[in-house]
Structure formats: C-alpha cells, structure tokens
A and B are shown apart, each in its own frame.
Chain A
C-alpha cells in the first residue's frame, strides 16, 4: 500500500462544478503540498499546509492532521483547471518527500 493515496485517480466534470480531490497518508508529516501538473509536464506548487485551511482564488486546501487526510477543492471549475493534481507529504521522521500518484482532472466546457 502506498504511503500517500489520492482519490479519485481520474475525474471528469462539467464546467462550473465543485471539485474535490482527496489525499490520505499513513506517515507522520511536517508538511503537505498540493501541486498542479499541466499536460506539458511543468509542475506548479499550489499550497503548502501543516494545519487548517488555505484559500487562493478558486482553490481551497484543507488538512486534518488527526485523520491524516487533506482535500483540494476547486470552485466554479473551468476547462483551464484541467491538469493532474499531485499531493506530496514531507515525512517528519526521515524528511523524505513522498508523492501521491496524482489525480487527472478534466473539465469539459
């Protein structure tokens, strides 16, 4: 079992829908990241979380340390949000970065 699990693996939705992508992890962490990878390959860091909630534009990220779970939400989704969203956690035992496999999101107009 992977130490970082994302769900769903693939998600297709209509423009305007509210999107939720989940990340569960099994190790102790000092930080959790959400990143976005566009079809060309480049990766952009969206959020770094260690507790609570962060918001940037239409993106919201939450983390529950006790439940070892984080969610990324997209409000009023748009086709340009189509990308792979990756969750990564920084282990607090060996400071290794552990990556999820990503969630491929397609937003149809």
Chain B
C-alpha cells in the first residue's frame, strides 16, 4: 500500500463511451501525475498538476481530459478513445515537482484500460 489509490483497477470501454479514472492520495503531497504504460514501452508522462494547477501536458490528445479539483484527487476523463489507447494508466504523487525525483514519488496500482 503506497498511499495512492486508483479506481477502477480494470476498465473495458467502447470507443463511444465516456468514463473517468480516479486517483486519490492523502499523503499531503502537492504534485500529482498521470502516466501511460503501453506494452513493452517505457512509461510516458501525460499530465502534471502542482498545487492543483496543470503544469505539464505532454502533447496528449484531447480525448484525455485531466481534472484536479483539489490536491488530494486527480481524475482522467476519457471519451471517444481508440483501441491503441488500451494501456495501464498510472497515477503518482510527490511532495513537489519536478516529477518527484528529488523527493520520492509514490505510485498507485494503475487502471488497466481496454478499449474495444
């Protein structure tokens, strides 16, 4: 248990569906991240929020829409996804930026997304 909780753990959705991934941390961290992990590829950073403000958007398609209502919660809203978006989506948090690597980053268990 890392203190970062993601729900759901598994999600199957059609290309016309709208769904949301949720990430929650009560570690008192200020920065939260969404990562995408495709099969046999390195982790890809998608979005960074620091103090609820989005500080980074790594050229992610608009069919992925993040929301950070407070420093403890992070959502990833999904709509009209493509089959190639099927991947493991990981949330992480850290005390501060950049990307938690001068402090430790804590990861959630991930949501395994399948787009059919």
User: Chain B contacts of A96 at CB under 8 A?
Assistant: 98-99
In the assembled complex, B42 has its CB within 8 A of some CB on chain A: yes
In the assembled complex, A2 has its CB within 8 A of some CB on chain B: yes
In the assembled complex, B22 has its CB within 8 A of some CB on chain A: no
Q: Which residue of the partner chain, among A30, A40, A100, contacts B42 with CB atoms under 8 Å?
A: A100
Q: Which residue of the partner chain, among B43, B101, B102, B107, contacts A44 with CB atoms under 8 Å?
A: B107
B115 to chain A, nearest CB (A): 17
- Total interface residues on A, using CB and 8 Å? 24
Q: Which residue of the partner chain, among B2, B98, B104, contacts A42 with CB atoms under 8 Å?
A: B2
B45 to chain A, nearest CB (A): 7
B107 A43 Cβ-Cβ under 8 A: yes
In the assembled complex, A86 has its CB within 8 A of some CB on chain B: yes
A41 in contact with B109 given A90-B99, A90-B101 (CB within 8 Å): yes
Interface of B, secondary structure class, is loop
Interface centre among B37, B42, B102, B109, by most chain A C-beta atoms within 10 angstroms, is B42
B101 to chain A, nearest CB (A): 4
Per the bound structure, the CA–CA distance linking A88 and B110 in Å amounts to: 18
B101 A42 Cβ-Cβ under 8 A: no
B110 A42 Cβ-Cβ under 8 A: yes
In the assembled complex, A18 has its CB within 8 A of some CB on chain B: no
B11 to chain A, nearest CB (A): 13
Interface set of A (CB-CB < 8 Å, partner B):
2, 4, 30-31, 33, 35, 40-45, 48, 86, 88, 90, 95-102
